[in-house]
Structure 1
Amino acid sequence: MMIDDEVLAGIEAVLMITDTAVSTAELATALGLEEGTVDEAIATLKADYDGDETHRQRGFEIRHVAGGFRIFSRGDYHEVVKDFLTSGQSAKLSQAALETLAVIAYRQPISRPRIAAIRGVSVDGVIRTLLLRGLIVEAGKEATTSALLYATTPTFLDTLGMNSLDDLPELAPYLPEDADVAELGSQDTEVLAAVDELDEDLEDDPGSPGQPSLARE
């Protein structure tokens, strides 16, 4: 059965913007299709991305994960992506990465959904960057949700020239309890003031040789 190009494009559009796996049922509902049609469309897209003798393999692929589908960069190019994200000792972190790192530093161990709730935006890409830079590490799972927890690493301390997390500036009181996340309001700027404090520390001690700079552009 030939799948209409518009159907294929619609599924691609959804998978490109999602931060979590999307199930066949969810795609069917969103696009007004039968689930069987969605399954065939996914198979068509997967084959197209994998390539054959008539067209090249793509640098991305569709994977079935967590009961649904997501588009990922192809595993064959992990080293290329890693080198891109970590290239250069003076590579700078984005404002989003600095804000996420500040939240993790003060609330660790903390899960990705809780970080996203505090920042108000998705942090999937930022978390991957921080993991590849060696600034954070997976630190077990949350007991109630089984969500992965994240914490900072010795590299984080080395880069900031600190002996322990006790050396962090006294900004933790500005970070809300989880129950208060929905009521952040005007506290947002205070919550993320940690970024400026970290920047000041980094300007004084930009890190040891071989460690990435965290200073903002």
Structure 2
Amino acid sequence: MFNFNKKEKKESQNNKDSQKSTDHILSLSKTIEAILFYKAEEVSVSFLVKFLGVKKEEILKAIERLQENLKSSPIGIVLNNNKALLVVKKEYSNIISELKGEEKSGELSNSALETLAIVLYKGPISKSEIDEIRGVNSSYILRNLLVRGLVERKIQNAKTVYTQTIDLMRFLGIQDKSELPGFEKVKETLNKIENTDVNDVFNTNNSETYENEVGKSESESEENFNK
């Protein structure tokens, strides 16, 4: 009887450990999904390992679990060269193509002009830095600017950054960013905002400075952007 109880307890403990491991991987997969959604770009496995403080094997298992969870979703996850990315599945490619056409033909919103001004005056700049300056997630707007060919994404010092395209420079009729209206003053303002608490920026007089300086550059170029 004693041996039976001992074996039963061991099996019970193994089941608990197995459940904990399953719950951990499930939780990790949801966390990875949130990170990929926010980043809206390729994220390396090595970054996830370092950022989340877990083993590579756990990350890979969590990505496999996420792939299973997304089977019935229009969104999928691609793992290529140890980099993960959320994508729209190919069966929805037609509707996405139509959406891209709409994005190209419509006028740029104030938020898009604001983001474009930040890239122009502060770029090359990462998405997280843009988000910090604006105080909101800029994924959708950056994608729109990429689709329009106004900004481009590249790797700089192992980090993804955004910068203006040659076509945009040509469209604005400038050869160097220093030719932009009030370039040094606007860049200085953006640097100050980046080094200031976001709440202070958008709830104090700093926000007026930001709107005046960046807004001025937007208004001077808005007619050209929206032609």
TM over 0.5: yes
CA distance in 2, matches of 1:14, 1:199: 40
Which residue among 50, 59, 76 is the counterpart of 1:61?
76
Give the deviation of 1:173 after TM superposition.
1.0
TM-score computed with the length of structure 2 as normaliser: 0.58
**1:123 aligned onto 2:144:** no
Is the 2:26–2:62 Cα contact (8 Å) retained in structure 1? no
| Letter in structure 1 aligned against 2:140 | G
Partner of 1:72: 87
**1:187-206 deviations in whole A, cap 9, x for unaligned?**
34433442454235434x46
Secondary structure in structure 2 of the residue aligned to 1:131:
helix
Asked which structure has the greater CA Rg, the reply is: 2
Q: Which has the higher helix share?
A: 2
User: Are the aligned partners of 2:113 and 2:222 in contact in 1 as well (CA < 8 Å)?
Assistant: no
Within the candidate set 12, 17, 36, 2:34 is matched to 17
Q: Distance in 2 between matches of 1:196 and 1:157?
A: 18
**In structure 2, C-alpha distance between the alignment counterparts of 1:117 and 1:64, rounded to whole Å:** 28
Distance in 2 separating the partners of 1:38 and 1:147:
20
Q: What is the Cα-based RMSD across aligned positions, in Å?
A: 4.3
Q: Is the 8 A contact 1:8 1:45 kept in 2?
A: no
Q: Which moved further from structure 2: 176-185 or 116-125?
A: 176-185
Q: Is the CA contact (8 Å cut-off) linking 1:59 and 1:77 kept in structure 2?
A: yes
The residue correspondences of 1:19-98 to structure 2 (distance < 5 A) are 19-20=38-39, 21=43, 23=48, 42-50=63-71, 58-64=73-79, 71-74=86-89, 77=92, 80-87=95-102, 90-98=105-113
1:96-115 Cα offsets, whole Å, 9 max, x none, are 32221111111233333433
The verdict on how the C-alpha distance between 1:63 and 1:168 changes in structure 2, with shifts beyond 3 A counting, is same
Q: Which residue of 1 aligns with 2:6?
A: none
SS in 1 for 2:100: helix
Equivalences, count = 192
Please point out which of 147, 154, 170 is paired with 1:132: 147
- The alpha-carbon deviation at position 86 of structure 1 amounts to 3.7
Cα offset, 1:3, TM superposition: 10
For 2:226 and 2:110, how far apart are their aligned partners in 1?
18
Does residue 181 (structure 1) correspond to residue 194 (structure 2)? The answer is yes
Structure 1 length-normalised TM = 0.60
Contact 1:97 1:130 in 2 (8 A): yes
**2: CA distance, partners of 1:27 / 1:149:** 22
Alpha-carbon contact 2:178-2:184 (below 8 Å) kept: no
Q: Which amino acid aligns with 2:222?
A: L
1:88 and 1:121, CA in 2 relative to 1: closer, same or farther beyond 3 A?
closer
